[in-house]
Amino acid sequence: MKAQESKRQRRKAERPAELLEAALEVFAEKGFAAARMDEIAARAGVSKGTAYLYFESKEDLFRALVQDRMLLIFTPLEQAFETYEGSSRELLEMLLARFCIRVLGTKLAALPRLVIAEVGHFPELAEFYRRNVIDRGLGFLSRIIARGQARGEFRPGNPDHFARLFVAPVLLSAIWRACFDRFDDEPFDFAAFIETHRKILLSGLAPEPERGKQ
């Protein structure tokens, strides 16, 4: 009896994560506007009523999905930043690798496309994504770049501008993968593209050589 009760408790504890995973699949397949709570619940193997016990609406599901998945990316890096003794270049490379593995290589790549596609109908969700993902990510990037500038590792310039240059090709990859790669005649090598971006970005951030030392 206790074993059955313990199993039910574990199953109940797993339901929010299962509903988030189901929501991500349905959002990726159908978009946000066409997604329905009953379909998400069915994908998670629960009733619609059970889904509403955990999340009040699909908007609530979207917010929880963004917070849950993006915390896995940003939180460890932000914590490491405070005590990191290595170079700022290494920090940028770590962030780029983490983002590519956790986002571009997974179904999370659908989230930027959802936000862009639905911004006109659901501006509050676009603002939520902006505040919790874009602003947080750009802010963290700016801090790394400012750190590198203060240490003489990067050239002078507006850290916010450099941060946006860092993000632009990565965001393009996410949108392309979610929207257009199905129409490619040959699979696009996103890993090679990001590696090219990494080299160009870090080369551009390198401090200019002093006159007479070129």
Specify the pLDDT at position 7. Answer: 42
Asked if residue 141 lies in contact with residue 163, where contact means CB atoms within 8 angstroms, the answer is yes
Q: Which of 32-41, 50-59, 128-137 has the lowest mean pLDDT?
A: 128-137
Could you tell me the residue ranges of all domains in the chain? 1-56, 59-205
Phi, psi dihedral angles at 172 (to 5 degrees): -60, -40
> What is the C-alpha to C-alpha distance for residues 141 and 128, in angstroms, rounded to an integer?
19
CATH of 1-56, one of 1.20.1740.10, 2.60.40.2310, 3.30.70.980, 1.10.10.60: 1.10.10.60
Query: The pTM is what?
Result: 0.80
The number of helix segments (H) and strand segments (E) in the chain equals: 10, 0
* Structure-derived torsion over alpha carbons of residues 123, 127, 132, 138, reported in degrees to the nearest 10: 120
Specify the pLDDT at position 42. Answer: 95
What does the pLDDT average to over 100-126? Answer: 79
> What is the C-alpha to C-alpha distance for residues 125 and 63, in angstroms, rounded to an integer?
8
> What is the C-alpha to C-alpha distance for residues 70 and 132, in angstroms, rounded to an integer?
8
Asked if residue 18 lies in contact with residue 54, where contact means CB atoms within 8 angstroms, the answer is no
Q: Which CATH class is domain 59-205?
A: mainly alpha
Q: Who wins on pLDDT, 55 or 107? A: 55
Specify the pLDDT at position 73. Answer: 76
Specify the pLDDT at position 10. Answer: 46
Topology agreement, domain 1-56 and domain 59-205: no
Q: Count how many residues are written for the chain.
A: 214
> What is the C-alpha to C-alpha distance for residues 21 and 19, in angstroms, rounded to an integer?
5
pLDDT tens sequence across 58-99: 999 999 998 888 777 788 878 888 888 889 998 888 887 777
pLDDT, the chain, mean: 84
> What is the C-alpha to C-alpha distance for residues 62 and 80, in angstroms, rounded to an integer?
28
Specify the pLDDT at position 151. Answer: 94
**Number of alpha carbons in the 13 Å side-chain half-sphere of residue 94:** 17
**Number of alpha carbons in the 13 Å side-chain half-sphere of residue 175:** 11
189 Cβ neighbours under 8 A, 6+ residues apart? none
Judged against a pLDDT cut of 60, whether residue 109 lies above it is answered with yes
Q: Who wins on pLDDT, 70 or 24? A: 24
5, containing H or E segment: helix 2-30
**Number of alpha carbons in the 13 Å side-chain half-sphere of residue 169:** 17
